[in-house]
Structure 1
Amino acid sequence: MNLTNIPNDELTRRLEKLVRTERKITHLILQHINEIESRRLYADLGYDGMFSYLTKGLGYSESSAYRRIQSARLLRQIPEVAERLENGALNLSQLTQLNKCLREETRTSGIGATRIDTKALLKEIEHKNTYDTQKVLAKEFNQYPQKRTLIKPQSDASIRLEVTLSQEDFSDLSKARSLLSHSCPDGSWSDVISTLARKFIKTKMSVKTNHNQKKAI
């Protein structure tokens, strides 16, 4: 499809209409997932579960399939979720995060997440980004802070690093990220940390070199 000759206002109107259609289709897909899972139709098609059907049969990535299954299960419990998906107040990532927290609450308590007002919680995370949604859920579910640093080698020789920062430290790092937007345009945390490390090393080495030169004189 060639869109280059379409006027700007028409192009934006088309995109907005497509987004509305996408949101409506998304909650319809979730409803179909629930019904197919309840009938176990995936087994009739030769798959051992809904996840396998979505990934191998329908071509979803593993993460996309997981989000849809988790969101569909929350939709089954709270049908009003469909309307909030359609109007853009909530998205699949938020529903997945919430359902994961609810399942963990059920697993640890053994009696289900009865203390949680799920509908009120859904209202609270409306229109929030991933970070702010996680903050709300961490507080509501009293998630124990993870303080252990994780350093994990990966198959491509990269290193996965997980650390816990104080709110103040994270604020400082976020400010540094903003100041480095010219040299780290994609804003990835790995680029920001690497850039800061290189700048610090360069500064320290320069100071050390100057100090040695003065001593030599």
Structure 2
Amino acid sequence: MRVLIVEDEEFLADAIRARLEMDAIASDIVGDGDAALFAVEVNDYDVVLLDRDIPGTHGDDVCRALAADPEGPAVLMLTAAGRLDDKIAGLELGADDYLAKPFEFPELIARLRALNRRQFSTHPPVLERHGVRLDPFRREVTCQGRYVALTRKEFSVLELLLRAGGGVVSAETILEKAWDENANPFTQTVKVTISTLRRKLGDPGIITTVSGAGYAIR
């Protein structure tokens, strides 16, 4: 999953990003509404964590613009306003969910994962294919019943491949979804991560390289 954090409080934005990284969630940070709209145009985000009161284009207008795109990312609106009428107003703007400050990080993570799961409503919360079982909420992976210890990035890549349901996922898509905007597009990181995943999952190998296209679990 890849999240765009739209928050002008730098300390809070950095804290959120650090916590998301602990849960294998890639994220980018922008501090105003104009930068948020631009970032969504050039990157493929699953969820936008949107502070309502931000400089530039107001958070309400950013939310309206994102909600107008049926194929756009989900929006989790974040604001200091916690009154019921404020929550209703945010949802009426098109936000998919609403979280008032201050909040607990476990709740934020749970809401982000719930929104991302809606994007893949045809898939069960626990992903299983060819003996590999991945639980996104417990961050556990087993292969043929054997526990497999993965790094955060390895977990993210495996989750992408499993969610594809046997379809091919390009190296560019993996890099975009599992890393952040600072990732070098010419890096061998994806190739190395796939190689490590194959070794950890063991035989029979289920991650297939599709020449010129990417990777798939088949």
**TM more than 0.5:** no
Range class of TM-score, shorter chain: under 0.3
Which has the larger share of strand?
Answer: 2
The one of the two structures with greater contact order (alpha-carbon pairs below 8 A, sep at least 6) is 2
TM-score (norm 2): 0.26
Which entry has the higher C-alpha Rg, 1 or 2?
1
Which has the larger share of helix?
Answer: 1
TM-score (norm 1): 0.26
